[in-house]
Amino acid sequence: MADLFGDIIGDDDMFGDDDLTGDDDLLGDDEFGDDDLAGDDEFGDDDVGDIVGDIIGDTLTGATRGRRVSRSRLKKAVNAKAKSMAKKALRKRAIGRTVRYDPFKPTRVREYVQGFDSLTAIPAAGVQTITQRPQIPFRPERLVVPSDIAGLFLLQDVKVGKNSQFASTQAVPARVFDEKAVGVRLGLDTAQISQDLVLVPINFSAGPQRFFAAMIGTALDQLSTALDQLSCVHPLPVTDARALLARIGPLVSYKILFKLGSFRGDKDRDLANKALSALLSVLIYVNQNFLRAHPETPLLYKSGVRYKRERMGETGCPGITPEQWGDIPTILRDGGADCEDLACWRVAELRERFGIQATAFFYYRRVAPNKTLYHIQVEYPDGTIEDPSAELGMNSRAPEFDRTTTIYRVQ
């Protein structure tokens, strides 16, 4: 143990090497070495912190097991640790006194309808300003006035914010915009969040009339990845996992074993990455089909499943431990899964339920001459990264993602 502590202190990084972070194992034991898809590590983050704390404490009290550390180097390490703790304390205090601002980050484009209603009848020859404030960025592309009232009104103005969308101050017959009109697709200015959309109708009939209209256009919408905002209303009934499995009936797992010779370490790294990408794409597609067939499937984060490190099975092939991948019903039956299963479910869910074209991606690091760590996560169109394994209880964090990490997006 003394040598272990001395060796750790002797490293340039006081907090250990990358292989002390947690990942979940996706393997591939073969004669060329192991390719692992990330999992729990031997120590875990808390243990690494405890080891470093013990080293600093013992050395300060004159313990001999850290004797290989020079006094100046230890002083630098202690000072760095103290500064880090002080910064965290100040940051925590500052956060407690501030209001967090999250900028709007759109994640999908959709058609949006904005209604207009005068609420009361507009008197004959009367003019009324009708204002609406959309809560998402919205660009109107068509204005529709019902044909049964269109002949009774003129439109004096259409505004986005303070800007008129008419070429002049001349009023336009509302009949131009009835639901049967052609050639009236507009390209109005974009109304930002809570910016005014204004219609100014004139009633030129002989009596009071109520005015109705609608704008149709393109909107930028945002679906948060935060767990506390995932309870958005879904138009389809969502049941719990037990009810869904009872409805489906007994599951008979159809097992397919791929024997791939592509995972040969750095010799064929690009070939291995393409193979893994193809397999992940297949699992995403399988899950999308399941969600279409069973729209009552609970959302991943509401399903009750947890991250589970995989138990390796038998293949009948000496020296090979298989990676077992599960689709959504299999994960529900087992009560959990590891990174590739959870990520593929989440990507399929985002695509089918929320219209977000997310994708899976994986990254890896060579941590030993014959071992590579992989981990699979989810990427949103705006570049936001989500780790379902971490959200669902992976005991140790995934390898730190930085610019030295090689990533590969699933096509």
User: Cβ(190)–Cβ(160) under 8 Å?
Assistant: yes
pLDDT-wise least confident of 12-26, 120-134, 150-164, 388-402: 12-26
For strands 336-337 and 306-307, give the pairing: parallel
Range of the domain at 132: 108-221
Same domain, 361 and 294: yes
Q: What pLDDT, on a 0 to 100 scale, did the predictor assign at position 8?
A: 36
| Inside any domain, residue 89 | no
Q: 189-224 as b/e, with b when 16 or more CB fall inside 10 Å? A: ebbeeebebbbbbbbbeeeebebbbbbbbebbbbbe
Do residues 150 and 174 make contact, with C-beta atoms less than 8 angstroms apart? yes
- Average pLDDT of the residues of the chain: 73
pLDDT band (50, 70, 90) for residue 143: very high
Neighbours of 356 (CB within 10 A): 20
**Quick check: 367 and 18 in contact, CB under 8 A?**
yes
Could you tell me if 250 and 326 lie in one domain? yes
pLDDT band with cut points at 50, 70 and 90 for residue 65:
very low
Lowest mean pLDDT across 149-163, 171-185, 292-306, 372-386: 372-386
Predicted confidence at residue 88, as pLDDT, reads 74
The CA distance from 324 to 174, in Å, is 63
With bands split at pLDDT 50, 70 and 90, how would you rate the model's confidence at 325?
confident
* Domain C-terminal end among 196, 221, 246: 221
Helix (H) or strand (E) holding 342: helix 339-354
Bigger pLDDT: 167 vs 399: 167
Residue 57 lies inside a defined structural domain of this protein: no
Asked if residue 391 is part of any domain, the answer here is: yes
Give a yes or no: residue 123 inside a domain.
yes
Task: Give the mean pLDDT of 61-69.
Answer: 48
Residue 22 predicted with pLDDT over 70: no
Alpha-carbon dihedral sign for residues 15, 385, 374, 367: negative
- Lowest-confidence region among 88-92, 96-100, 118-122: 96-100
What does the block give as tokens for 60?
Answer: 């300060």
293 within a domain of the structure (yes/no): yes
The string of pLDDT tens digits covering residues 384-403 is 888 898 888 886 555 554 44
267 plus 390 within the same structural domain = yes
Predicted local distance difference test score (pLDDT) of residue 231: 38
Burial 263-294 (b: 16+ CB within 10 A, else e): bbbeeebeebbebbbebbbebbeebbebbeee
Domain tally, the chain: 2
Does residue 366 share a domain with residue 276?
A: yes
- Per DSSP, the three-state class of 109 is strand
Mean pLDDT to the nearest integer, 110-128: 93
- Residue 393 Ramachandran class (φ > 0 left, ψ -120 to 50 alpha, else beta): left
Residue 80 has pLDDT above 60, yes or no: yes
| Residue 252 sits in the same domain as residue 401 | yes
**Domain shared by 164 and 260, yes or no:** no
pLDDT of residue 198: 96
pLDDT digits (tens, 9 = 90+) for 191-207: 988 899 999 999 999 99
Q: Which residue has the higher pLDDT, 296 or 115?
A: 115
Q: Tell whether 255 and 336 lie within a shared domain.
A: yes
- Of 61-75, 176-190, 230-244, the one with minimum mean pLDDT is 230-244
Residues 262 and 205 in one domain: no
pLDDT band at 81 (very low <50, low <70, confident <90, very high): confident
Q: Which residues pair with 407 in a beta bridge?
A: 363
Cβ atoms 324, 334 nearer than 8 A: no
Q: Is 119 contained in some domain?
A: yes
Q: Is residue 87 part of a domain?
A: no
Calpha distance 215→223 (Å, rounded):
23
Q: Is the pLDDT at 306 greater than 80, yes or no?
A: yes
- The amino acid sitting at 95 is I
Q: Is residue 15 part of a domain?
A: no
Last residue of a domain, one of 206, 221, 236: 221
Whether residues 274 and 164 share a domain: the answer is no
Per-residue pLDDT, 186:
84
pLDDT: is 10 or 110 the higher one? 110
At residue 318 the predicted structure's pLDDT band, cuts being 50, 70 and 90, is: low
State the pTM of this model.
0.45
Binning pLDDT at 50, 70 and 90, where does residue 102 land?
Answer: low
The answer to whether residues 258 and 148 belong to one domain is: no
> pLDDT, tens digit, for every residue of 218-268?
887 765 444 334 433 344 444 566 777 776 666 666 677 776 666 666 667
Same domain, 143 and 231: no
Domain-ending residue, one of 188, 221, 254:
221
Residues 138, 203, single domain; the answer is yes
- Name the more confident of 18 and 306: 306
CATH code, domain with 150 = 2.60.120
Distance CA 64, CA 48 (A): 20
